[in-house]
Amino acid sequence: MDKNSDLENALKKCAVGFDTSETVEEFAVQDGELKLVKRKVTRRDIPPDIKAVKMLLDGRRDGDLSDEELIAEREKLMKMLKEEDFD
């Protein structure tokens, strides 16, 4: 994998959100040896990042959207404009 695809994959991961875990281990010397005395695993849900979504959408080139996607986007925007109150 090249660096650009690694970066794009990381950006996509941030855009959709992800789960992560962190493990913290504490060791102590017992009988002259290091022994694991405590292990704490913390799991976190990282929500989607709007800035990452914006970066992905801004990075799209016009040719990246199919005709069907362009038509659907146009219809969605037209519907939003019709629903908007311009008074």
Secondary structure E strands in the chain: 18-30, 33-46
**Per-residue pLDDT at 69 exceeds 50:** yes
Mean pLDDT taken over the chain? 84
The pair of three-digit structure tokens given for residue 59, joined into one six-digit string: 């990075």
Neighbours of 14 (CB within 10 A): 19
pLDDT digits (tens, 9 = 90+) for 4-28: 788 888 888 999 999 999 999 999 9
Nearest to 21 by CA among 3, 48, 39: 39
